[in-house]
Amino acid sequence: MDLNTIERNDPDSVAQNAAVASAPAKKVFVKTYGCQMNVYDSQRMTDALAADGYTATDAIAEADLVLLNTCHIREKAAEKVYSELGRIRDMKAERAAVGRKMLIGVAGCVAQAEGAEIIRRSPAVDLVIGPQTYHRLPDVLARVRGGEKIVETEYAIEDKFEHLPKPKRAEMIKRGVTAFLTVQEGCDKFCTFCVVPYTRGSEVSRPVAQIVAEAERLADAGVREVTLLGQNVNAWHGKGEDGMEWGLGRLLFRLAEIPGLARLRYTTSHPRDMDDELIAAHRDLPALMPYLHLPVQSGSDRILKAMNRRHTAKDYLALLERIRAARGDIALSGDFIVGFPGETDADFEATMDLVGQVNYASAFSFKYSPRPGTPGADMPDHVPEAVKDERLQRLQALLLKQQQDFGLGLVGSTIDTLIEKPGRQAGQKVGRSPWLQPVIVDEKAGEIGDIIRVRITKTGYNSLFAELA
């Protein structure tokens, strides 16, 4: 999962557009931080606001409403929000000077975790809204426009998804041929380093019918590849159309029947929830892409225990063996934390060792960041920053080498590629490999939405170059 900040609509690149701000319709500028679920949520909030008369803009200076969809996972992510709010406050003041209003909203995991504290620290903020109440956004905004400041972080009893407006078909088409679909939200695992159970609440699975209907609408709008999302996506379960209890594996089989949907993925999974049916789906379902993000965090049993991951390194390796036996060409991706409290050199070497054994096609690794309210923050023996830095560097060098070797290993082979969008350079299009690498092809190789056979000719830093096979 790409948890590096997703900064779309970067205000740095649009601030100079201030002079052209003169449109009459209400405009909203949304900036998204954090994980894919926030990307999905930002789209759903945009849909809810569209129903309320707002059009989306990429130009922050002309926005009547600026909405930051925030991430609380590490301290840096959370602090970024406050520096951003400082800049937006200045823009709000400039707009006020010419008699125009700008509302500022904070949504997402920082909103849920810090609530009213955000308005205390940044008084220019008009509303704070947690992820479980996005369907109430239009009502909340109506009150904010009436002059109230609102903090809405109570968990709603009604089903948010049931009440969120559906995107217009034209809007879905604009969003492209790949899409996210949240099927599960929240987490009951309580890893001792993690804020997610506090910011997203306890595990909730969306019902089968809702998911199937949403996937059908996406397919109808030309989407070819759907990534099912959940903080613990493989803990998803629900009553199926046959009245039986389904797990994620069964759901994937059902979604694969939808005409037009050629590719399925899911993220993020927990090793403890990889059941036989899901592994069987990797064996029997061609639409399920041979790529699995399965975070392990550490290779040391002592640290895994302190993290409350509730499995050992050996359990993880044995699980991978079963998955690889089911699907030989599956590529692994993972998340790692270095410098968890009490991590010794030997613990860290165990992580390096595990990485060496697994051979990841890609991975994300982070320095442990103590989060207020989590058990890890109060544990003894915090690791000095310099040690964390050094460990992270060594781990990332190894992971980068594995990623590059994985790409190099594909040169000369023939693979399927979903053409996604025009390339950055004229004459090119960019596709997506089964393992999520960007694949650069000649623009005449096919149309957006086509799945074509290509031969890999060489690798770039994080991409593949290919020609029609």
The residues near 247 (Cβ < 8 Å, ≥ 6 apart) are 234, 236, 237, 275, 277, 278
Q: Is 363 in the site for ligand SF4 (CB under 6 A)?
A: no
Q: How far is the CB of 106 from ligand F3S (least distance, A)?
A: 12
Say which entry of ligand SAH, ligand SF4, ligand F3S, none residue 46 contacts (CB below 5 to 8 A, set by partner kind).
Answer: none
User: Residues in the site for ligand F3S, rule: CB under 6 A?
Assistant: 3, 34-35, 37-38, 71-73, 108-109, 195-196, 199-200, 231
Would you call 447 helix, strand, or coil by DSSP? coil
| Nearer of residues 236 and 368 to ligand SAH, judged by Cβ | 368
Q: Is 298 in the site for ligand SAH (CB under 6 A)?
A: no
Q: Is 2 in the site for ligand SAH (CB under 6 A)?
A: no
Say which entry of ligand SF4, ligand F3S, ligand SAH, none residue 301 contacts (CB below 5 to 8 A, set by partner kind).
Answer: none
Considering only the stretches 32-40, 74-82, 185-193, 444-452, report the one whose residues sit in contact with ligand SF4 under the rule CB under 6 A. Answer: 185-193
| Nearer of residues 271 and 449 to ligand SAH, judged by Cβ | 271
Cβ neighbours, 10 Å, residue 6: 17
Q: Check whether the bond before 5 is cis (ω within 30° of 0).
A: no
Amino acid letter for position 142:
A
Residues 376-415 that bind ligand SF4 (CB under 6 A): none
Distance of alpha carbon 134 from alpha carbon 438, whole angstroms: 32
Distance of alpha carbon 28 from alpha carbon 213, whole angstroms: 28
Q: How far is the CB of 444 from ligand F3S (least distance, A)?
A: 39
Burial of 469 (0-12, 13-18, 19+ CB in 10 A): middle
Shortest Cβ contact with ligand SAH: which residue? 335
Q: How far is the CB of 282 from ligand F3S (least distance, A)?
A: 25
| Nearer of residues 365 and 417 to ligand SF4, judged by Cβ | 365
Q: Are the CB atoms for 83 and 99 separated by under 8 Å?
A: no
Q: Is the dihedral of CA 188, 190, 194, 197 positive or negative?
A: positive
| Nearer of residues 268 and 402 to ligand SF4, judged by Cβ | 268
- Binding-site size, ligand SAH (CB under 6 A): 18
Per-residue binder mask for ligand SAH (CB under 6 A), 128-157, x = binder:
------------------------------
Distance of alpha carbon 91 from alpha carbon 97, whole angstroms: 10
The CA-to-CA distance between both ends of the chain, in Å, stands at 30
CA 164 to chain centre: 19
| Nearer of residues 212 and 379 to ligand SAH, judged by Cβ | 379
The residues near 72 (Cβ < 8 Å, ≥ 6 apart) are 78, 108, 109, 110, 112, 113, 114, 195, 199, 371
* C-alpha count within 13 angstroms, C-beta hemisphere, residue 250: 14
Would you call 364 helix, strand, or coil by DSSP? strand
Q: Which of 52, 335, 349, 443 binds ligand SAH (CB under 6 A)?
A: 335
Considering only the stretches 188-196, 390-398, 437-445, 454-462, report the one whose residues sit in contact with ligand SF4 under the rule CB under 6 A. Answer: 188-196
Q: Is 270 in the site for ligand SF4 (CB under 6 A)?
A: yes
Q: Is 9 in the site for ligand SF4 (CB under 6 A)?
A: no
Distance of alpha carbon 235 from alpha carbon 233, whole angstroms: 5
Which of 263, 409, 384, 253 shows the shortest CA–CA distance to 331?
Answer: 409
Q: How far is the CB of 99 from ligand SF4 (least distance, A)?
A: 45
Per-residue binder mask for ligand SAH (CB under 6 A), 185-224, x = binder:
--------xx-x----------------------------
Total residues found in the chain within this entry: 469
Helix or strand run (H / E) with residue 143: helix 137-145
Distance of alpha carbon 89 from alpha carbon 108, whole angstroms: 19
The residues near 366 (Cβ < 8 Å, ≥ 6 apart) are 3, 74, 335, 336, 337, 338, 392
Q: Is 196 in the site for ligand SF4 (CB under 6 A)?
A: yes
Q: Which of 31, 72, 270, 432 binds ligand SAH (CB under 6 A)?
A: 270
Q: Is 27 in the site for ligand SAH (CB under 6 A)?
A: no
Q: Is 337 in the site for ligand SF4 (CB under 6 A)?
A: no
Q: Are the CB atoms for 249 and 275 separated by under 8 Å?
A: yes
Q: Is 187 in the site for ligand SF4 (CB under 6 A)?
A: yes
List interacting residues with ligand SF4 (CB under 6 A): 187, 189-191, 194, 196-197, 231-232, 270
List interacting residues with ligand SAH (CB under 6 A): 3, 73-74, 193-194, 196, 231-232, 268, 270, 295, 297, 335, 337, 366, 368-369, 371
